[in-house]
Amino acid sequence: MLSIENLHATVAGKPILNGLTLSVGVGEMHAIMGPNGAGKSTLAYVLGGRPGYEVTEGSVRLDGRDLLEMSPDERAAAGLFLGFQYPVEIPGVSNVQFLRTALNAQRRARGEAEVSAGDFLRLAREQGEKLGVSMDMMKRGVNVGFSGGEKKRNEMVQMGIVDPRLAVLDETDSGLDIDALRVVGDGINRIMRRPDKAVLLITHYQRLLDIVEPDFVHVLAEGRIVRSGGRELARQLERQGYGAIAA
């Protein structure tokens, strides 16, 4: 589904990704771990098409299409969802307004019929109930006044509504307590653990991996993948730290 070959990228002229190569197959969940400054969030932003992140070499293909040639909205319509480490607040724009607009924009881009207001509200209520996000919260400004855990659960509601093929989740477990971590982890499994979808999960810690159980774990250091394995690699990192493994 996702093929990254020899990817180099800079931010403000500084090299961050230095020849990263990774393949994520359909139905797979891959976890990316690594020390601060390794390039994990840069990888997520490059895949999402965030301005200021310049690709200087390499290629990225999603379902055979050149992802780097697409605008961010085209990437979303192609099935890519980017979950942020720090979800932003958007005062004056309600969750339901934002999500219905986003969903219907993607459907139009794919040549599909728009979702009616009634059908959308039923979908939003269904997804919200599964993640502990009430309709009162859904009617509030996007993430306005939400706690860290509420923002992450709200982002899982967004993911459930747009129903992407590939989710790139940047430290979704950041700032979550034990209960919120379980809710978010279960949400990832429910929404994305399907044979036609894939997940690239960026995290520092094993605790989320105990819930979502990725198929592959990769260590990112100095802008490239330096080690790959199964879930036992994450446990080894927990015991030994990055220094011994990423050296």
**pLDDT computed for residue 103 by the predictor:** 92
3-state secondary structure of 105: helix
Candidates 180, 174, 237, 186; CA nearest to 213 is 186
**pLDDT computed for residue 121 by the predictor:** 92
Q: How far is CA 19 from the centre of its chain?
A: 21
Whether the CA torsion 34, 155, 209, 7 is positive or negative: it is: negative
Q: Could you say which residues of the chain have pLDDT below 50? A: none
Give Cα separations from 68 to 2, 55, 168, 203 (angstroms): 12, 8, 15, 24
Tens digits of residue pLDDT in 12-69: 999 999 999 999 999 999 999 988 889 999 999 999 999 999 999 999 999 999 999 9
Give the chain's domains with CATH numbers: 2-90+165-246 (3.40.50.300)
Q: How far is CA 247 from the centre of its chain?
A: 27
**pLDDT computed for residue 247 by the predictor:** 57
CB 167 within 8 A of CB 159: yes
d(C-alpha 148, C-alpha 51), whole Å:
25
**pLDDT computed for residue 246 by the predictor:** 60
**pLDDT computed for residue 122 by the predictor:** 93
CB 37 within 8 A of CB 11: no
Candidates 194, 198, 200; CA nearest to 168 is 200
d(C-alpha 192, C-alpha 166), whole Å:
8
Q: Which residues pair with 166 in a beta bridge?
A: 80, 198
Longest dimension (CA), the chain: 55
